[in-house]
């Protein structure tokens, strides 16, 4: 059994896999890290291996604790990966993006795949049918866009995510919702369209915290999978 730990910008996600089957997952705040690890260890004593992917701030003592109880891989640009990385600056490629690409080459071998991760940032990652990772794009996520409008202006309120009822906003709040959400949707559909022109047999994966919210509103044909990153981390652990 494998323990997968994904340390994000706001939450830590834990997943337990038996081979390639996800059997449990949970998300907690950083202050509950060790309590959660101990709970999982007691509940699943057969866990032998663990992988940690961190884009957030994981304490050294927390990492050492994991390392003393499991055979640990800490994901980095030096980790052995099941694809050819053609990124110009491979050492700067985020570990979350690495994990997503690994999931795509496992689940969609010999296909051109665009992975869209809609979280704090919206990332786009492209891997070819020849198993070559070319790169992609990074743009502000939905929450970042709402916060930017509030932080960088004098009078615009900070709003919670809401699906706009109309393209025409008839109040300040509805105008913000229309601008943010429709802007994101048009961006994603436009990026998919550009890739599809060059790669007509394109497979598109949508994942991340806002994937369920966005998937029903996008025009493009996609596979929505909120566990894609966790599955990619598990594949790296199995691969190593």
78-127 per-position pLDDT tens digit: 999 999 999 999 999 999 999 999 999 999 999 999 999 998 899 999 99
In this structure, the answer to whether residues 90 and 184 fall within a common structural domain is yes
Query: What is the number of structural domains in the chain?
Result: 2
Mean pLDDT of 32-61: 91
In this structure, the answer to whether residues 63 and 100 fall within a common structural domain is no
In this structure, the answer to whether residues 69 and 172 fall within a common structural domain is no
Q: 């790296």: which residue's tokens?
A: 236
> Does residue 121 sit within a domain?
yes
- Annotated catalytic residue 24: no
In this structure, the answer to whether residues 217 and 101 fall within a common structural domain is yes
Residue that is last in its domain, among 24, 42, 74: 74
- C-alpha to C-alpha distance for 1 and 102, rounded to whole angstroms: 19
Q: Residue 16, by phi and psi: left (phi above 0), alpha (psi -120 to 50) or beta?
A: beta
The one catalytic residue among 24, 96, 125, 189: 96
pLDDT at res. 236: 96
pTM (two decimals) = 0.90
Residue that is last in its domain, among 74, 94, 127: 74
- C-alpha to C-alpha distance for 147 and 149, rounded to whole angstroms: 5
> Does residue 240 sit within a domain?
no
pLDDT at res. 227: 93
pLDDT at res. 221: 79
Annotated binding site for substrate: 87, 94-97, 172
**How many of the other CB atoms lie within 10 Å of CB of 43?**
10
On the question of pLDDT at 57 being above 80, the answer is no
In this structure, the answer to whether residues 137 and 199 fall within a common structural domain is yes
In this structure, the answer to whether residues 46 and 113 fall within a common structural domain is no
- Domain containing 197 equals 84-234
- Two tokens, residue 225: 């999978």
Mean pLDDT over all residues of the chain? 94
In this structure, the answer to whether residues 228 and 127 fall within a common structural domain is yes
In this structure, the answer to whether residues 89 and 66 fall within a common structural domain is no
In this structure, the answer to whether residues 59 and 160 fall within a common structural domain is no
Question: For residue 37, with 0-12 CB atoms within 10 Å meaning exposed, 13-18 middle and 19 or more buried, which class applies?
Answer: buried
Instruction: Output the domain CATH number for residue 139.
Output: 3.30.420.40
| Strands 113-118 and 203-207, bridge-based pairing | parallel
> Does residue 239 sit within a domain?
no
On the question of pLDDT at 229 being above 90, the answer is yes
pLDDT at res. 40: 96
- Two tokens, residue 153: 């202006």
pLDDT at res. 10: 74
In this structure, the answer to whether residues 65 and 139 fall within a common structural domain is no
- pLDDT of 182-205, one tens digit each? 999 999 999 999 999 999 899 999
In this structure, the answer to whether residues 129 and 57 fall within a common structural domain is no
On the question of pLDDT at 46 being above 90, the answer is yes
- pLDDT of 2-23, one tens digit each? 999 999 877 899 999 999 999 9
Question: For residue 61, with 0-12 CB atoms within 10 Å meaning exposed, 13-18 middle and 19 or more buried, which class applies?
Answer: exposed
In this structure, the answer to whether residues 12 and 99 fall within a common structural domain is no
How many residues belong to the chain?
Answer: 240
Residue that is last in its domain, among 23, 41, 74: 74
**176 Cβ neighbours under 8 A, 6+ residues apart:** 146, 149, 156, 157, 159, 169
> Does residue 207 sit within a domain?
yes
């Amino acid at each position: 059994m494998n323990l997968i730990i994904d340390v994000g910008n706001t939450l830590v996600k834990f997943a337990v896999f038996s081979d390639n089957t996800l059997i449990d997952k949970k998300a907690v705040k950083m202050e509950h890290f060790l309590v959660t690890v101990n709970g999982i260890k007691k509940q699943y004593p057969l866990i032998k291996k663990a992988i940690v992917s961190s884009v957030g701030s994981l304490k050294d003592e927390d990492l050492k604790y994991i390392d003393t109880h499991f055979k640990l891989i800490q994901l980095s640009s030096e980790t052995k990966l099941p694809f050819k990385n053609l990124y110009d600056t491979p050492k700067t490629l985020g570990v979350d993006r690495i994990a997503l690409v690994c999931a795509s080459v496992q689940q969609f071998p010999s296909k051109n795949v665009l992975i869209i991760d809609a979280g704090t940032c919206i990332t786009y990652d492209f891997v070819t049918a020849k198993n070559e990772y070319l790169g992609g794009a990074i743009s502000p996520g939905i929450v970042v866009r709402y916060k930017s409008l509030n932080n960088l202006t004098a009078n615009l309120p900070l709003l919670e995510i809401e699906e706009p009822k109309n393209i025409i906003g008839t109040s300040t709040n509805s105008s913000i919702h229309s601008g943010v959400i429709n802007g994101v949707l048009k961006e994603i559909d436009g990026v998919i369209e550009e890739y599809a022109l060059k790669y007509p047999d394109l497979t598109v994966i949508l994942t991340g915290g806002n994937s369920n919210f966005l998937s029903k509103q996008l025009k493009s044909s996609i596979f929505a999978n909120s566990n894609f990153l966790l599955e990619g981390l598990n594949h790296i652990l199995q691969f190593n």
